[in-house]
């Protein structure tokens, strides 16, 4: 059974058109993360939530926002996607911060036209 679910798996949007990616988890984990992975590059952490506490990475552009309305769901909003935002977006969860294993969802591949 899938534990970290991402929808949609593939998303096509137009330059500048807002888009929302969804992540849900059945693990009841406290922490949810969003990573961006561009082709042939390492996954890069954008931000994470510990429960309702939001933690933004210093170099995450303002164009990227996130919402976590409850424990199970977390959303990534890209307000004005640029061509450079085309990437795989990976959601991950962990029970706690620190050394707890992170479980990744299958990712959403975003194409910007």
Tell me how far apart the terminal alpha carbons of the chain are, to the nearest angstrom.
34
Q: Rank residues 7 and 80 by Cβ distance to another protein and give the closer one.
A: 7
Q: Is 105 in the site for another protein (CB under 8 A)?
A: yes
Q: Rank residues 8 and 18 by Cβ distance to another protein and give the closer one.
A: 8
> What distance lies between CA 91 and its chain's CA centroid?
4
Lookup: tokens for 38? 């561009």
Q: Rank residues 63 and 102 by Cβ distance to another protein and give the closer one.
A: 102
Q: Rank residues 23 and 112 by Cβ distance to another protein and give the closer one.
A: 23
Q: Is 68 in the site for another protein (CB under 8 A)?
A: no
Residue carrying structure tokens 């309702």: 52
The answer to whether 96 and 31 have CB atoms below 8 angstroms apart is yes
Q: Is 59 in the site for another protein (CB under 8 A)?
A: no
Q: Is 45 in the site for another protein (CB under 8 A)?
A: yes
CA distances, 63 to each of 32, 76, 85, 93, 104 (Å):
19, 10, 10, 23, 23
Instruction: Give the binding site for another protein (CB under 8 A).
Output: 33, 40-45, 48, 55, 57, 88, 90, 97-99, 101-102, 104-107, 109
């Amino acid at each position: 059974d899938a534990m970290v679910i991402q929808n949609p798996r593939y998303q096509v949007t137009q330059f500048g058109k807002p888009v929302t990616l969804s992540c849900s988890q059945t693990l009841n984990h406290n922490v949810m993360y969003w990573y961006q992975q561009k082709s042939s590059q390492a996954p890069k952490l954008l931000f994470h939530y510990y429960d309702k506490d939001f933690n933004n990475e210093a170099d995450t552009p303002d164009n990227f926002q996130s919402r976590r309305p409850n424990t199970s769901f977390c959303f990534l909003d890209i307000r004005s996607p640029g061509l450079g935002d085309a990437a795989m977006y990976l959601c991950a969860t962990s029970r706690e911060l620190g050394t707890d294993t992170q479980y990744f969802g299958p990712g959403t591949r975003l194409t910007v036209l």
